[in-house]
Amino acid sequence: MYEGMVGLSVFLSITLVCSVIAHIYLKNITWAIGISTLVSTLIFQIANLVMNDNPDPFMGIAVVFSLIYAFFIALLVGIPFHLYRRNRS
């Protein structure tokens, strides 16, 4: 596997796990999306610092793009949770 694919798979797995956990425990979809986005971005950046010995010079850009992608992943994960809770009520 190339280094980029490893980073992408780590990012996707962290984001999916954080999003599912947030949507299970938080009933409000807005809070779940926001918290899972922030937590998954923070965990991914910490993992990036641990995997690489020195900090990335473009870390600010990486944070912005990981926030954007984590938001959309959390939104896609949250839609089935929201529809299930709405139909159950």
Average pLDDT of the chain?
93
Interatomic CA distance for residues 21 and 14, integer angstroms:
11
Both tokens of 74, joined, read: 């959390």
Tokens of 30: 């807005």
| Residues sharing a CB contact under 8 Å with residue 40, sequence separation 6 or more, in sequence order | 14, 15, 17, 18, 19, 66, 70, 73, 74
Least confident of 10-19, 27-36, 46-55: 46-55
Query: Quick check: 9 pLDDT over 90?
Result: yes
Q: Give the percent of the chain with pLDDT over 70.
A: 99
Question: Residue for token digits 């089935």?
Answer: 80
Question: Which amino acid belongs to residue 22?
Answer: A
- Give how far Cα 10 sits from Cα of 19, 40, 48, 76, Å: 14, 11, 9, 18
Q: What is the mean pLDDT of residues 29-37?
A: 97
